[in-house]
Structure 1
C-alpha cells in the first residue's frame, strides 16, 4: 500500500511544494495540527498525528488514528466548484454502506452532517471523515478477484438504483448522441479501422431500456480492495454521476487494470471475467450486450494517447 509520510498519488510534482501551493500547509506536521483540531471541534474525536498524507489534484487524503474509534481517513478538497458534488457523493457512500456494499462509510458530525467546510491556511476546504478499509489493491491476474469485483460492481449499481441525490450526468445528451458526436467532431483518427467499426456498431445499436441512474464512475484496480480473492472495499465515489449502468461497466472493463502510475489497457480475458462476474448478479439483456461491445471500443479509442503509445492502447482496439 502507500508509504507513510507525504506523497503524490499519481503526479510527478514535489509533494511538499504541492501541499503548500494547493492547500497552504507548510508540511505534514502542520496538517496534523489542523486535522486534530478539526476532528475535535467538528466530530468530537481525539486523533493522533497524520501517519500518511497523499495528494491527488485538488484533493488530499490523510490517515489518522482516533482514540475513540480507531483508524480513520480524513479527506479534504480545495476545489470549491466541487464542494456540492462532494456533499452528494458522500451521501451516496452512506447509502451504499447501509445497503451492505463494502465502502468507506462516512462518519456523521454530532449535528448529523457528513461534510464540514473548514478554513485552511490557503482557503476553505470541504472535509469528510471515513472509516479506513484494509486490503490490497485488485490484482487483475487473480481471476477470482476480478469475477468478484464484477459482482460487486453489479451490487453497487443495484444499491444505487433509485437514489435521489444531486448528481448530474457526466456529459449532456444520450449515449447515442455522445458517441456519434465524438465520431463526427472529436475522433483524432489514431486507429481508423477501429473508428469505422465503432461507427458501424453505432448504426446497428438497439435502443437501451431504463433511465440513467447514479453509478460509481471510476471502478478500477486502484479503487478496489481485495483480501483472499474477495472484494473488501469499493473506494472513491468522487466521480459518481448519472449514466446507464452498462456505460459504467464498459468503462470499468477498459480501465480495470490501471493504477496510479501504471496505465495500461485491461487484457481481453480480464474484461470477460469482470463482465461474467457482473452478469452473475445483474444479467445483461441483448441491447446491453450490444452497447457493452460498442462502449468498450469507444472507451478504448478515447484512451489512445496518440502516436506515442507505450501502454499499447491502440493495439488493444485494433
Structure 2
C-alpha cells in the first residue's frame, strides 16, 4: 500500500512543491476541501476523509472515504490528454460489463463518467472509481503470474470486441516511455522497418549480442497474421492486484492504444515486475509463466510466436538505462 498523506508515485521531488506547482493546492487539507465540495456538487457523494494522495507527472490519485464506500478520485491537468482520458474511462465501463476485474467509474447525475472541473490553477479532468482491494502482483508467485497471463488474454478478448472510436487517441508505436500520437499500429512489414531503422539509428549498443540477435530474428520474421486492436499497454505488477494468487483487479487503462496483441504481451513480459520506483527486469521463468497463462486462454499463432521473441528482445533493449544499470537490464536481455 502507498503511504498515508501526500507522496510522489515515482519522481524524486518534494510532493508539497509538486502539488502547488502542478495543481495550485497549498496542502492535502486544501485538496480535501476541494474534493469534498466537488464530489458533493458533481456526484452527490459525501466525503468523510481523504487519507492518501499520490502525484505522477500532471496526474493525481486521491483516496476517499465516503458514504458510498472507499473510493479513488483520479484527475489530470494535462489538457491535451482530456479526450483520450474520456475514451479510456468509457473503456473501463465496457470492460466491467464484459466481466473484466476493473473499477467501473461512478456516473455523475448528468450521465458522464469523467467530468472537467475547475481547480485552483486550471481545469482538471476528473473521474471517481470504487477502490479495488488486493495486493500488487508478486512475480515470485507462479500461480499469480499464470493468472495474470490468463487475465491479459481476457482483457485482449474484451478489448477486441470494442472499436477504437473516432475520439480515441492511441499511444506511440514504439515502446518509448513517453506517449505520443498515432491512431493505428504498424503492420508487420512496417514494424520490421521500424525496428530496422531503430537498430540503425537509435540503438546505443548497450547489449551488442542482443542487438545482433534481434537483427537475425528480424531477417526471418514472417508476416504477422493478427489485426491490431485496443490493448492495455501498461500491464505490469503496479497495475495488477491479486488475492490468493488470482488477479482481482486490473488498473490504469490511461495508456490504452491500438497495437498487435503479441506486442502488448511482449511488453508485459519485459516490464511485469516493475512497480513505481522499483524497476527490475523480469526473469525468463516468469516470462514463460506469463506466456503460459496467456496461451491457456488465447494460444499464439506460429507467426505471433516468432514475433513474440522479436518484440521481447526489442522491448528489453529499450528498457536498458544509459549509464548505471544496477538492476541488470542489459544482462537480462
Q: In the alignment, what sits opposite 1:35?
A: 35
Report the Cα offset of residue 306 of structure 1.
2.4
**Displacement after TM superposition at 1:269 (Å):** 0.0
Q: CA RMSD in A?
A: 1.1
Question: What is aligned with 2:178?
Answer: none
Counterparts of 1:307 and 1:170, CA distance in 2: 25
What pairs up with 1:153-302 in 2 under 5 angstroms?
A: 153-164=152-163, 165=165, 166-171=168-173, 173=186, 174-302=190-318
Cα pair 2:238 2:274 within 8 Å, conserved: yes
Residues 170, 243 of structure 1: 8 Å contact kept: no
Tell me the secondary structure at the aligned position of residue 71 of structure 2. strand
| Cα distance in structure 1, aligned partners of 2:102 and 2:128 | 13
Is the 1:116–1:127 Cα contact (8 Å) retained in structure 2?
A: yes
Question: How many Å separate the matches in 1 of 2:262 and 2:194?
Answer: 15
- Aligned counterpart, 2:137: 138
Aligned to 1:101: 100
C-alpha contact 1:146 1:277 (8 A) present in aligned 2: yes
Deviates more, 1:133-142 or 1:190-199: 190-199
Aligned residue for 2:115, secondary structure, equals strand
TM-score (norm 1): 0.97
Say which SS state the counterpart of residue 18 (structure 2) adopts. helix
Distance 1:83 1:12 in 2: 26
* Cα deviations by residue, 1:172-225 (Å, 9 ceiling, x for unpaired): 543223212211211111111211110111111111113211100100001100
Q: How far does residue 278 in structure 1 lie from its aligned partner after superposition?
A: 0.2
Q: 1:25-44: CA deviations, max 9, x gaps?
A: 00001101111111111111
Q: Which residue of 2 aligns with 1:52?
A: 52
* Gap regions ≥5 residues in structure 2: 174-181
Q: Deviations over 1:107-138 (max 9, x none)?
A: 11111111110110011100000111000100
Query: Are the equivalent residues in 2 in contact too, given 1:89–1:238 (CA < 8 A)?
Result: yes
CA shift for structure 1 position 169: 4.8
Q: Is the 8 A contact 1:33 1:49 kept in 2?
A: no
Mapped to 1, the partners of 2:35 and 2:170 lie a distance apart of: 31
The Cα shift of 1:47 comes to 1.5
Report SS of the residue matched to 2:201: helix
In structure 2, what is the Cα distance between the partners aligned to 1:37 and 1:24? Answer: 16
SS across alignment from 1:281: coil
Alignment of 1:122 with 2:141, yes or no, is no
1:62 alignment counterpart: 62
